[in-house]
Structure 1
Amino acid sequence: MQPLQFPYKNYSSRLPIPSLGFAALLLISLATLTSSCTEQEKNSLLQFVSGLSQDAGLAKLWQVDTDCCNWEGITCNGNKTVIDVSLASRGLEGHISQSLGNLTGLQQVNLSYNLLSGGLALELVSSSSIIVLDVSFNQLNGDLHEFPSSIPGRPLQVLNISSNLFTGQFTSTTWKGMQNLIALNASNNSFTGHIPSHFCNISPSFSVLELSYNKLSGSIPPGLGNCSKLRVLKAGHNYLSGTLPEELFKATLLEHLSFSSNGLQGILDSTHIVKLGKMAILDLGENKFSGMIPDSIGQLTRLQELHLEYSSMSGELPSTLSNCTDLITLDLKCNNFSGELNKVGFSNFPNLKTLDLMWNNFSGTIPESIYSCRNLIALRLSSNKFHGQLSKGLSNLKSLSFLSLTNNSFSNITNALQILRSSKNLTTLLLGLNFMNETMPDNARIDGFENLRVLAITDCLLSGEIPFWISGLVNLEMLFLQGNRLTGPIPAWINTMEYLFYLDISNNSLTGEIPTTLMAMPMLTSEKTAAHLDPRVFYLPVYSGPSLQRRIPIAFPKALYLSGNKFTGVIPPEIGHLKALISLDISFNNLTGPIPSSICNLTNLEVLDLSNNNLTGEIPAVLENLYFLAVFNVSNNNLQGPIPTGRQFNTFPNSSFAGNPRMCGPGLNHHCTSVE
């Protein structure tokens, strides 16, 4: 999130226009008097630089014998008075010198996105001239002590101290001298205590308060409702409890209200919601709210984002939601909403980009009106009770990038893929737990998907083979086909998938030997290939567990999951070519022969599971060199000889080696003799 930026007031007065001759004489006189910044200002700036442990070359750029108005990051007004110090993103380290407070004309200070440490100099906050002070995204720390209120009418309007390491109580007495404060951003710190309720009593023009990502507790103070000019109130990701106080809804100018990820409860009162007619972003997700979405939500006609995810809300969606014609984001995932969606006129949402209804109890078919949302980028309907075949109208969503229909009761996978292949912008397609017991579409029927990067058709019990049309997905990075009934071999074309780095074909009925072509996959044979992957995030986070979400594809490990099939033959010695591999699981197959010593070349390996096969011979001692190995399992094979000792092998449990009667070592029933 970018730091808040507000225009500061121009305090320069406009003089009457004198006669031309007098004006020229006046300008010459002023030029003589103020030909450069004062020595006091120059010394204050040099003192600031000298207090830095890393000045990023400023000391060389700021030469003593030059006009400081010409220095990098310094702006002066027409009177050669320093009014702006702007040194964001310079790599500055060290403490902020109080000497900047000596610049009597200074109006703006921006030191954001550096590595500055220490406390916040009171001289800056108490300055008689500074209007905008931004020290966000640094490493400033300590408590915010009570600022002296002896200087009346301090002009500070905007204070951004977000994304630092500040601690201590966040009390109203800290700010009692800030009569002109308009915006305060103190988010992403470690402040404790309660939210102060007297901001508006201190500063009548107060309009922006951001306190998200702290450790604030207690209830929402009703006094915030007295902020007649409050437009933005954000206090998400804290430890707040209680309900939304009725008084809060008196702040009728609110445009952005966010209390996400707290412990709030209660219902959304219909008579209160209607008072927030200017609301554009309402974010109450990840709380304990219950009840239904009130019909009065439709009176928030300026609403652009509605977040109610991860709560305990229920009932059908009100038809009045259709009146929120400016909606861009609708996030209702992880609730108990039910009923059909046909009551909501999605055709009224021409700007809708994100619709996330995952983990609810919606039923029926996907309403046709959704397909008129031509700007829809992300659609997630997974884990509901939708059924039927996909409509051809889905192909109208030309902007669609992310589609998840997982865990419903959709049918006719061939029809679904034929419709979706025309979605040229589709990058993520998740279809698992649908199309039960159907047949994987054969090789000749599917093309398209030029930009697809993630394809998941999992746990559908599909029969057939791994189809040839997948080889045409030239940008595919991740392929999930586990939990089906696919037969036949791993296709020889697998190594032509130039960007594929994650392959899960476990729990099928695949046969044959593990082909050596699999050992030539470009993304797995070189550690230098990551730069070729698409760095873009998933438009919505992808969940790989109840609490594990990933926002970018490359957050997944480079992995091969081949377990739970009917593979035979030996583990190819060429497996040592997969130097970038992090996770390898070929358990529960019918593999024979020894464990190849070439596995020791997989120096990035963190997971190696060879269990439940018919492997023979000893565990190669060279596997001790796999320093990152955290999970190792060779149980239930026919291995023999001693377990390697030292390094990672001292950390694996005995269960990793169980079921090998001829293996010996500490912790096993069979202790090694000197001969062994």
Structure 2
Amino acid sequence: MPSFSGTIPESIGNCSKLEILYLHKNKFVGSLPASLNLLENLTDLFVANNSLRGTVRFGSTKCRNLVTLDLSSNQFEGGVPPELGKCSSLDALVIVKCNLSGKIPPTLGMLKNLTILNRLSESIPAELGNCTNLSTLKLNNNQLGGRIPSALGQIPTEITELKNLKIVTLFNNSFHGVIPPGLGLNSKLEIIDFIGSNRLHGKIPPSVSQCKTISRFILRENNLTGLLPDFSKNHDLTFLDLNSNSFQGAIPRSLGSCRKLTTINLYRNKLTGNIPTELVILRNLNLGFNLLDGSVPSKFSNWKELTTLVLSGNRFSGFVPPDRHP
């Protein structure tokens, strides 16, 4: 399929009734025309997957009715325009791999309908807690640092208004501090992913571990401590990855109540005790390099869907259960 090339013409600002502009997956170069700010009826702008450069400016004049803005996969310069906070209808902001740097503008906290926030840098402003309809917070693979703001997790603060929050991915940054207490208490979290290159410490808040709607629970490669939480309410949990932390104590028997669970990765912690016999059929079980002892449950030999079993680096005794498959 042929692709458009060249620059986006400045004359596009003359299309006064233009509402939706799809220019993604082409070969456009140059900067975004300043005349786009004259399009007061523009609601949806998609310019992803081009080779656009220059600074980004939206919301400074008439263009304040944007609902969706996707700037992904370009080569822009400078930061996220704080004027976007004036686009009160903005529902989706996607800025993945577009080279923008600097701070997340606190003015984005003025957006009551922000649904997707992705690929920003430096610290997270507490004002994001004012985005009452925020459902997806993706800030992974950046250079973010500092503490995760209390506005995203404490009660009674702005978290009481974040009832639509479903996905939080903050992996591969430099966050420190604790997981905000209350995160997920009033929302229906489905995915939490704080893995890699973070330095979170402390315990997993009960509000997170007991969130009934979580399906993927990933907190690997941090400095989390304490006992593993009770998972008895996590009936939708399918994927649990807490490897490379400093959790202690026993593997909770409540994991046996998670009937949809297919993967457990608790590699490189300080867990003790036996492997719970309550565990149901899994596909992947990694308990390597802990302080576990006792015997390996014989029921493992009946798990026909088991593809990965790692038990090395522990203190097990007895025999490995024989294969009972017909």
| Counterpart amino acid of residue 403 in structure 1 | L
Is the aligned partner of 1:270 residue 2:10? yes
| 8 Å Cα contact 2:37-2:63 kept in structure 1 | yes
**CA distance, structure 1, for counterparts of residue 311 and residue 7 of structure 2:** 52
Is the aligned partner of 1:353 residue 2:81? no
| Counterpart amino acid of residue 346 in structure 1 | G
Structure 1 residue 564, shift from structure 2 partner: 2.6
The match for 1:341 among 80, 105, 108 is: 80
Q: Give the 5 Å matches for 1:221-620.
A: 239-241=1-3, 244=4, 265-271=5-11, 273-274=12-13, 276-319=15-58, 322-342=61-81, 344-347=83-86, 349-376=87-114, 378-382=115-119, 384-387=120-123, 389-391=124-126, 393-406=127-140, 407-413=142-148, 415=150, 416-418=152-154, 419=157, 421-422=159-160, 423-434=162-173, 436-441=175-180, 448-459=185-196, 460-491=198-229, 493-524=230-261, 558-575=262-279, 578-579=280-281, 581-592=282-293, 594-605=295-306, 607-610=307-310, 612-614=312-314, 619-620=320-321
**CA distance, structure 1, for counterparts of residue 92 and residue 224 of structure 2:** 34
SS of structure 2 residue aligned to 1:330: strand
| Counterpart amino acid of residue 147 in structure 2 | N
Structure 1 residue 288, shift from structure 2 partner: 3.7
RMSD over aligned CA atoms reads: 3.0
Structure 1 residue 300, shift from structure 2 partner: 3.4
**CA distance, structure 2, for counterparts of residue 520 and residue 396 of structure 1:** 36
Structure 1 residue 464, shift from structure 2 partner: 1.4
Instruction: Find runs of 4+ consecutive structure 1 residues off by over 6 angstroms.
Output: none
| 8 Å Cα contact 1:405-1:432 kept in structure 2 | yes
The 1:523/1:311 distance shift into structure 2, 3 A limit, reads same
The 1:564/1:290 distance shift into structure 2, 3 A limit, reads farther
Q: How many residues align?
A: 319
Structure 1 residue 434, shift from structure 2 partner: 4.5
Normalised by the length of structure 2, the TM-score is: 0.82
| 8 Å Cα contact 2:210-2:231 kept in structure 1 | no
The 1:469/1:343 distance shift into structure 2, 3 A limit, reads closer
Structure 1 residue 610, shift from structure 2 partner: 0.7
**CA distance, structure 1, for counterparts of residue 105 and residue 111 of structure 2:** 11
The 1:314/1:276 distance shift into structure 2, 3 A limit, reads same
**CA distance, structure 2, for counterparts of residue 350 and residue 437 of structure 1:** 32
Normalised by the length of structure 1, the TM-score is: 0.43
SS of structure 1 residue aligned to 2:225: coil
Structure 1 residue 593, shift from structure 2 partner: 5.2
Structure 1 residue 295, shift from structure 2 partner: 1.1
Which whole-Å deviations, capped at 9, do the CAs of 1:205-236 have from their partners, x for residues lacking one? xxxxxxxxxxxxxxxxxxxxxxxxxxxxxxxx
| 8 Å Cα contact 1:495-1:522 kept in structure 2 | no
Which whole-Å deviations, capped at 9, do the CAs of 1:476-507 have from their partners, x for residues lacking one? 3332211111123323x222333333222112
Question: Any unmatched runs of 5+ in structure 2?
Answer: none
The 1:438/1:375 distance shift into structure 2, 3 A limit, reads closer
**CA distance, structure 1, for counterparts of residue 27 and residue 301 of structure 2:** 50
| 8 Å Cα contact 1:502-1:560 kept in structure 2 | yes
SS of structure 1 residue aligned to 2:255: helix
**CA distance, structure 2, for counterparts of residue 586 and residue 286 of structure 1:** 44
| 8 Å Cα contact 2:38-2:61 kept in structure 1 | no
**CA distance, structure 1, for counterparts of residue 107 and residue 180 of structure 2:** 28
**CA distance, structure 2, for counterparts of residue 346 and residue 461 of structure 1:** 31
SS of structure 2 residue aligned to 1:496: coil
Structure 1 residue 410, shift from structure 2 partner: 4.1
Q: Percent identity?
A: 29
Which whole-Å deviations, capped at 9, do the CAs of 1:104-157 have from their partners, x for residues lacking one? xxxxxxxxxxxxxxxxxxxxxxxxxxxxxxxxxxxxxxxxxxxxxxxxxxxxxx
Structure 1 residue 331, shift from structure 2 partner: 0.8
| Counterpart amino acid of residue 622 in structure 1 | D
**CA distance, structure 1, for counterparts of residue 188 and residue 288 of structure 2:** 33
| 8 Å Cα contact 1:583-1:608 kept in structure 2 | yes
| 8 Å Cα contact 1:476-1:500 kept in structure 2 | yes
| 8 Å Cα contact 1:322-1:345 kept in structure 2 | no
| 8 Å Cα contact 2:147-2:176 kept in structure 1 | no
**CA distance, structure 1, for counterparts of residue 219 and residue 84 of structure 2:** 35
| 8 Å Cα contact 1:322-1:344 kept in structure 2 | no
Which whole-Å deviations, capped at 9, do the CAs of 1:613-659 have from their partners, x for residues lacking one? 3456665442656xxxxxxxxxxxxxxxxxxxxxxxxxxxxxxxxxx
Which whole-Å deviations, capped at 9, do the CAs of 1:389-442 have from their partners, x for residues lacking one? 522x33332222222233342422252422552212222222334463323456
| Counterpart amino acid of residue 309 in structure 1 | A
Q: Give the 5 Å matches for 1:63-212.
A: none
The 1:318/1:394 distance shift into structure 2, 3 A limit, reads closer
Q: Rg larger in 1 or in 2? A: 1
Question: Any unmatched runs of 5+ in structure 1?
Answer: 1-238, 245-264, 525-557, 626-676
Which whole-Å deviations, capped at 9, do the CAs of 1:588-613 have from their partners, x for residues lacking one? 434455543312443444x3131543
**CA distance, structure 2, for counterparts of residue 471 and residue 515 of structure 1:** 12
| 8 Å Cα contact 1:390-1:410 kept in structure 2 | no
Which whole-Å deviations, capped at 9, do the CAs of 1:155-187 have from their partners, x for residues lacking one? xxxxxxxxxxxxxxxxxxxxxxxxxxxxxxxxx
